[in-house]
Amino acid sequence: MDALQAGGDRAQVELHCLQVRDGFRVPDRILSEHEQQRAAAFRSTEARHLFTAGRFLCRHVLGNRLGYTPQTLSIAMTPSGRPHLTDHPDIDFNLSHTRDRVALAIHYGGRIGIDIERLDAFSEQAALEIMPMILSEDELNQVNQLEPRSHRDIFLACWVKKEAALKCLGMGFRINPQSVTFALDNTTYGEYLQTPEGVIFTRSGRFGDVETGIFAWSIATSTPVPQPIWHHHTV
Ligand SMILES: CC(C)(COP(=O)(O)OP(=O)(O)OC[C@H]1O[C@@H](n2cnc3c(N)ncnc32)[C@H](O)[C@@H]1OP(=O)(O)O)[C@@H](O)C(=O)NCCC(=O)NCCS
C-alpha cells in the first residue's frame, strides 16, 4: 500500500498501473454502497475484480493526493458511465483495465482519457477481421501499405489512441471510432486531433516485459502535456 501513497512533486498528469495478483480481493468497506451494488451485479468474476481493483486504485491514489481516506472520496458517474470526482471538477481521472492490470490516469486542470491493451490481446487473424470496424478508410489504406507482420501492433497502437480520445470526450464508443483518424505509427510523440468538442492531445507508448506481458497504452488530454511517467504497483 505504501507505494500507492508515495507523494512527491505533483506532475500535471499522473499515470498509475496496478498489477492485481490472483486471490487479491478489495475489502467492501473501501467501496461506496453504489460501487458495492455495481460489483455484485457483474456476472463475470474477472470483470467484478477488475472493476473493484480500479476503484481501489483511484480511491487510494486520489484520496492520498487530495487528503481523503479511500472510502470517503466521493466518485459519481455520468449517464454514459464515465466516473468523476464530485467535489473536484478541476481534477479529471480515467481508468482502463485489461487482464491483470488496471490503469489510472489523472489530469490536474484538464480532461483525460486512457486505454491500455495487452499486445497479444488479438491474434493476427482477429486483428485483420476487427480492423475494418475500427479504423477509418484513411487509416486502413495506411495499414495496408505496411508490412503485413506489423499490422496487428500498428492496429493496437491506433486502437488505444482512439479509445483514449473517445474516453477523454466522455462518450466512448457511442462515437463511431471510424469517424476519428490518427496517423498510424508506433511513436511515443504527442499527436493532436481536432474534434467538434475541441483539440485532443495524445501520448502513447508501451510498458511491460515478455514474461508478464507487454502493454500498449495511450492517454488523450484536453491540454498538451509532457510525456508522463508510469508508477507501477502490485497488490
Ligand atoms: C468507455 C468504453 C470505451 C470502455 O470500454 P472497456 O472495454 O470497458 O475499456 P476499459 O477497460 O479501457 O475502460 C473501462 C473504464 O472506462 C471508464 N468509462 C466508462 N464509460 C466511459 C465513458 N463514457 N467515457 C470515458 N470513460 C468511461 C470507466 O472508468 C470504466 O471502468 P469502470 O467501469 O471499472 O469504472 C466503453 O465502455 C464505451 O464505449 N462506453 C460507452 C458506450 C456505452 O454506453 N456502451 C454500453 C455498453 S455497449
Helix/strand/coil percent split, the chain, to 5: 40, 30, 35
d(CA 137, CA 119): 23
pTM: 0.92
User: What pLDDT does residue 172 have?
Assistant: 87
Average predicted confidence (pLDDT) for the chain:
89
Across the range 170-199, mean pLDDT stands at 72
Give the residue extent of every domain in the chain: 2-109, 115-225
Kindly state the greatest CA–CA separation across the chain: 53
Across the range 56-72, mean pLDDT stands at 97
Helix (H) or strand (E) holding 95: strand 91-98
Protein residue with least CA distance to atom 31, ligand 1: 95
User: What pLDDT does residue 186 have?
Assistant: 47
CA of 8 to the centre of ligand 1 (A): 30
pLDDT grade for 114, boundaries at 50, 70 and 90: very high
* pLDDT at residue 178 tops 90: no
CA of 97 to the centre of ligand 1 (A): 10
The reply to whether domains 2-109 and 115-225 share a CATH topology is yes
* pLDDT at residue 163 tops 70: yes
Across the range 47-75, mean pLDDT stands at 97
CA of 168 to the centre of ligand 1 (A): 11
d(CA 18, CA 35): 19
User: What pLDDT does residue 190 have?
Assistant: 56
CA of 233 to the centre of ligand 1 (A): 22
Pocket of ligand 1 (CB under 6 A): 51, 54, 80-83, 94-97, 113, 115, 163, 167, 170-174
CA of 208 to the centre of ligand 1 (A): 23
User: What pLDDT does residue 40 have?
Assistant: 95
Q: Which atom of ligand 1 lies at the shortest distance from residue 102's CA?
A: 11
User: What pLDDT does residue 46 have?
Assistant: 92
Protein residue with least CA distance to atom 2, ligand 1: 172
User: What pLDDT does residue 180 have?
Assistant: 81
CA of 166 to the centre of ligand 1 (A): 10
* pLDDT at residue 165 tops 80: yes
Across the range 66-77, mean pLDDT stands at 96
> pLDDT (tens digit, 9 = 90+) per residue, 117-131?
999 888 889 998 999
* pLDDT at residue 115 tops 80: yes
* pLDDT at residue 185 tops 70: no
* pLDDT at residue 164 tops 50: yes
2-109 CATH, one of 3.90.470.20, 3.30.70.580, 3.40.640.10, 3.40.50.720: 3.90.470.20
d(CA 207, CA 189): 15
> pLDDT (tens digit, 9 = 90+) per residue, 26-38?
999 999 999 999 9
User: What pLDDT does residue 191 have?
Assistant: 64
Cell of 224: 498538451
pLDDT grade for 222, boundaries at 50, 70 and 90: very high
CA of 56 to the centre of ligand 1 (A): 17
Q: Are 112 and 169 in contact (CB under 8 A)?
A: no
Q: Are 45 and 128 in contact (CB under 8 A)?
A: no
* pLDDT at residue 219 tops 80: yes
Q: Which atom of ligand 1 lies at the shortest distance from residue 172's CA?
A: 39
Protein residue with least CA distance to atom 29, ligand 1: 95
Q: Which atom of ligand 1 lies at the shortest distance from residue 170's CA?
A: 24
Q: Which atom of ligand 1 lies at the shortest distance from residue 114's CA?
A: 12
Cell of 64: 492520498
User: What pLDDT does residue 148 have?
Assistant: 87
- Is domain 115-225 classified as CATH 3.90.470? yes
Pair type for strands 13-19 and 198-209? unpaired
Across the range 71-94, mean pLDDT stands at 96
Protein residue with least CA distance to atom 3, ligand 1: 172
Q: Which atom of ligand 1 lies at the shortest distance from residue 50's CA?
A: 34
* pLDDT at residue 138 tops 90: no
Across the range 206-220, mean pLDDT stands at 94
